[in-house]
Structure 1
Amino acid sequence: MKVIERYAAAVRSSNLEINERTTRSDSDVLGAMGLAARQFPLAVALQRLFLGDSTAARELVEILADDAWRQARAMRVKLNRVQAYDLAQGCVAWHRNPTCDHCGGHGATVIPGSKTLGVRCKPCKGTGRTSLAKMFKEHSEVADWLVAHMERHQAMAGPEAMKQITGYLELKNWCAEAAK
C-alpha cells in the first residue's frame, strides 16, 4: 500500500496509539507527513485538500498566491497580490474540478431526451475540460505555470513522507533495541 493511501486511512483512524513493535502504524504515517510538510508544505497541503480537509484550501491558496506572485515577477507579468490570490483560488478550484460545465466533461453535447452524444462542445472544443486560458485571459501563462506547479508538488508528498518515515523508523527501531 502506498504511503498516500496509508495517509488517507490514518487521517480517519480512531487508533493513534504508539507501539514500538509496529513499523508503519497510523501515528507513524501521520508523523511522517507532518515532517514532510516542513520541507514541502504545498505538497502536503494538496494531499490534505484532496483527502477532504477543507481547511487545507485556505493554507494552499496562500502558498500558491505567494508562488504565483513571485513567478509573475520572474515572467515579467503584471500581477498584484490581490490578483495573485484570486488566480490561486481559481487554479485550485480548476485543479479540483476542470470539467466543462456545458457538456459535463463529455466533450460533446447530449441530445435532449436521449443518452446519445451530439455535436462537439464549442466552449471546451471537445476536450471536456474548462479552458484555463479563457478563465484567466491576462494571466494565462502564470495560471498554466501554477497548475503545473501544483501537479509537480502533489507528486512529491508521498516520496518525501517515505523518506521521513524511513529515518523515523530507523531511529524508533534503534531506541527499541537500546532499551532491551
Structure 2
Amino acid sequence: MKLIYETHATTVDNEHGVATGWLPGELSAAGREQARELGDRRRGVDLVFSSDLRRAVQTVELSGLTVPHFQDWRLRECNYGELNGAPRDALAPRVERVHTPFPGGQSYADVVELTRSFLADLKRWYDAGTVLVVAHSANRWALDHLLGSGAPLAELIEEPFDWQPGWVYGL
C-alpha cells in the first residue's frame, strides 16, 4: 500500500502563532486555496483518512476529492491539554514532551501509539492501493518515526518544519 501524508491546510491560528492542539481550528483564506491545490495534486488516491478536527476535515472537504473520506480521532494533533489554543512558544521546548504529557494532555509518544494503532487497522482493512492521510505535525513525526527514517522522536520534533506537497510512505 502507498500512504501519502499531507498536513491540513494553513489555519487562522497558524497565521497568528497559536498552537491549536485539540481545538477545531479554521482554515484561513490561504488555507482554503491550499486545500483546493491538494485536491488537484491527489486526484489519483483511492480513499482519504483525516483527523476529525475541523481544520483537517475542512481541508479534505475543500479539496474536491470524490473518493471515500473517513475521519479517525487517532489522527488528531497532540493534545496540549491546558495549552490548547496557547501561543505556539508556550509549548517550548517540545522535546520535553516526548514521554511527559502536556499538563492535562498527551505526550508525543502517545500520538505515536495512536498512529501505530491506526496503521495496523489501515493495513488490515486497506492493504492495497493509495491512501491519503490528512492530519497534523505530530502525526507526520509519528509516521516518519514508524515508517520513514526511523529517527528518534526527539530528533524529529527538533527538526525545523519544511512544508512540502506531501510525504510518501510504503506500508
Q: Which has the higher contact order (CA 8 A, sep 6+)?
A: 2
**What's the TM-score, normalizing by structure 2?**
0.26
**What's the TM-score, normalizing by structure 1?**
0.25
Could you say which structure has the higher helix fraction? 1
Larger Rg: 1
Could you say which structure has the higher strand fraction? 2
